[in-house]
Amino acid sequence: MSFSAVFDGNLSQDAGEKLCTDLVAVTPRENVVKLTGGASVCAMGSLLIATPNIVDLYLIQSVVTDTFLRLGPFSHTKLLPSLRHLCLDYFALPNNDDWSPLKVYLIHWQTSSGQTISLRLCGKHAPIPPNVVEEIEGLVDELNLGYSD
């Protein structure tokens, strides 16, 4: 079984969260293997916790902070144990030249699972210094870089 749902970007965050939560409530959790969403998806711990079999996560306009994809009581556990592909599109860093939150997440992922993921960075984002590219390449299976500012 496969289906897609697209939510109008004009929804308020509360309405979007309720719609996502309601959709997930009627969807067998084990069937959700790909999720595409905006910044509020990261903040929706209930959605991510309810969908542990996500293999592909595509996030648009997310802010990569120190708690990126590590939420509250789940901050020291692997939130998405099946994740293999992460795409960040038009993402932001709290401090444009500080890539440590993303590196911390990738290190956390690798140490908690013993596995690595593929990472795609696309859309407008802060320039990535060559030394950071090398560091990230050492933490992922594959790194794909797209447009940056």
pLDDT band at 134 (very low <50, low <70, confident <90, very high): very high
In a domain, 10, yes or no: no
In a domain, 19, yes or no: no
Mean pLDDT of the chain: 78
In a domain, 49, yes or no: yes
Among 84, 94, 103, 97, which Cα is nearest to 148's? 97
Matching residue, tokens 């020291």: 76
Range of the domain at 88: 29-145
In a domain, 16, yes or no: no
Q: Return the CATH number at 39.
A: 3.80.10.10
pLDDT, one tens digit per residue, over 23-56 is 766 777 677 788 777 766 655 666 777 777 889 9
Q: What's the predicted TM-score (pTM) here? A: 0.79
Strand pairing category for 34-37 and 118-122 = unpaired
Q: Residue 8 pLDDT more than 60? A: no
Q: Residue 140 pLDDT more than 90? A: yes
Query: How many domains does the structure of the chain reveal?
Result: 1
pLDDT, one tens digit per residue, over 59-98 is 888 888 877 776 666 555 567 788 899 999 988 888 878 8
